[in-house]
Amino acid sequence: MYSLFLRLALLSVIAVPAIANAMPLRICADPDNLPFSNRAEQGFDNRIGILIAHKLGREPEFVWARSRRGFMREQFNKGACDLLMGVPEGLRAVATSRPYYRSSYVFVARKRDELHIARFDDPHLEGRRIGLQILEEDYAPPSLPLIRNGHAAQLVGFDTFGARSADIVHAVADRRVGVAVVWGPLAGYVAARDHLPVTLTAVSPQVDSSGVPFTYDIAIAVHKKDNALRNAINHAIDQSDAQIRAILARYHIPITADEKEAR
């Protein structure tokens, strides 16, 4: 990683004289987590990160780190990188930029079943196996209303990471589960990439009665005291709105309108 860092730093000096004096912008990213990022820089957060870096007149330098348990303390807070893509706005212990997209958990169902489930009290959930992502050692937030509505015994956990992250969407298509609730960007990307006969319906309402949200504003994290970089990133996001939306559309990321705007 350090040798790569040096190589890129040298390259930027030699090949990009316009930004020869700028340090590379180091972006922490997961090496194997499409559609967000991968080592081949094929994820939408790779693309948006590169876009933002260039807007700032700096060369992007990806620092590959699996952002799982211990990542924040072992990597980010120790200064392994300057920024981190794809965090919920307001995440503690870091400073977050203005959001660059807003998405939600979605119900994934087979097209032929014509279920159109959007709510956790939908009677069509009765008796169906319900796929859910696993985050750390727990199910994703939609487990809360599902359990409250008496569906605890129907839940089936799926990996959120790496090569098997797409499995939860395929499981709906293959009838291994009747329906699944999945974070929108993953569901939208997998369904389109693999041409799966499924429908995606945003979870409604956007916030659970317990206060747990199912819709999140997604931002870029910088170190807590790095106000200058945050301000610059905010400006770059403002300027790049159309390009960011185009990138997200290419990955079929479901975008949720802000409730206030929607009204």
Partner 1 sequence: MKTVKMLSRQKLPSQFTCWVGALVCAIAVAGCKHQTQSVQESAGAGGGIHPYGAMLEADDGQWVRATKDYANTRYSTLDQINSNNVASLKVAWTFDTGTKHGLEAAPIVANNTMYIATPWPNRMFALDLTKPGGPLKWSYDPNPSRSAKGEACCDWVNRGAVFSDGKVFFNTLDDYTVALDANTGRQLWKTRLGDIANGETITMAPMVVRNKVYVGVSGGEFGVRGWLTALNTTDGSIAWKAYSTGPDKDVLIGDRFKPFYDGDKGTDLGVKSWPPDAWRIGGGTVWGFLAYDPSSNLIYYGTANPGPWNPEVRPGLNKWTAGVFARDADTGQAVWFYQMSPHDLYDWDGINENILLNLPWQGSTRKVLVRADRNGYMYLIDRTNGQVLSATPYVYITTSTGVDLKTGELKHVLDKAPKTGQEVRNVCPPAPGAKDWQPSSFSPKTGLVYVPHQNLCMDVQTGEANYIAGTPYVGASERYYAGPGGNEGELMAWDPIAGKKVWTVPDKFPIWSGTVATAGDLVFYGTLDGWFRAADARTGKTLWQFKTGSGIVGQPITYRGPDGKQYVAILSGVGGWPGAIVNSNLDTRDDTAANGWGIAMHDLKSATQAGGTLYVFSLP
The residues of the shown chain that bind partner 1, judged by CB under 8 A, are: 30, 33, 36-37, 45, 66-74, 77-78, 85-93, 129, 133-141, 143-144, 147-148, 152-157, 159-163, 183, 185-186, 210-213, 216, 218
As a whole number of angstroms, the distance between CA 89 and CA 72 comes to: 16
CB of 176 to partner 1, least distance (A): 10
**Residue nearer to partner 1 on the CB measure, 108 or 186:** 186
Place of tokens 């359990």: 147
**Residue nearer to partner 1 on the CB measure, 56 or 156:** 156
**Residue nearer to partner 1 on the CB measure, 54 or 71:** 71
**Residue nearer to partner 1 on the CB measure, 12 or 45:** 45
- Give the type of residue at 55: K
**Residue nearer to partner 1 on the CB measure, 85 or 233:** 85
CB of 229 to partner 1, least distance (A): 20
Residue 146: phi and psi, rounded to 5, are -65, -40
**Residue nearer to partner 1 on the CB measure, 31 or 57:** 31
CB of 22 to partner 1, least distance (A): 27
Question: What are the start-end ranges of the E strands in 34-178?
Answer: 37-38, 60-64, 83-88, 95-96, 101-110, 130-135, 138-139, 155-158
- Give the type of residue at 13: V
**Dihedral sign (CA 236, 260, 191, 28):** positive
CB of 200 to partner 1, least distance (A): 16
CB of 148 to partner 1, least distance (A): 7
Start-end of H helices in the chain: 2-15, 44-55, 71-74, 143-148, 167-173, 184-193, 227-239, 241-250, 259-262
**Residue nearer to partner 1 on the CB measure, 78 or 263:** 78
DSSP class of residue 213 equals: B
CB of 156 to partner 1, least distance (A): 6
By CB atoms closer than 10 A (0-12, 13-18, 19+), residue 94 is: buried
In 3D space, the residue among 127, 98, 88 whose CA is nearest the CA of residue 212 turns out to be 88
CB of 17 to partner 1, least distance (A): 35
